[in-house]
Structure 1
Amino acid sequence: MLLGSLVVRPLAVRAGEGRVMWPGGLVVAPFGFLVPLMDRGAGLCAAALAWLLITVKAGVDN
């Protein structure tokens, strides 16, 4: 979440607050389907990346 909080300020200044929030949800939402793939190997790496993107998006929204 900290990473999302750090990233959102410059993006909001450049593009506007509303324009940063809703497209981010459209981009991050499909990655939520990778979280149930947590297992070993590549599935774990994909799920970890998806979880990172979801938490960054939560930081952006807050």
Structure 2
Amino acid sequence: MSTEGNPDRKVTRPRLGPDAREHIGAHLQIVYAEIEGQPIPDEQVDLLLALRRAERELSRKET
């Protein structure tokens, strides 16, 4: 659905039934269980540390 002609019009999406939600939830739990014990890759750790440093710098500038 497009709201091109009327940007204030809300797009309604079909809702999932309980069976579909249960099916999706079960598969998400399986996927999560597979990756749960794996270490965080170094690249992602580096990104998280850079974000932490940037947040600290911002908070120092605000005070």
- Tell me the TM-score normalized by structure 2: 0.36
If the length of structure 1 is used for normalisation, what is the TM-score? 0.36
Q: Which has the higher contact order (CA 8 A, sep 6+)?
A: 1
Between Structure 1 and Structure 2, which shows a larger proportion of helix residues? 1
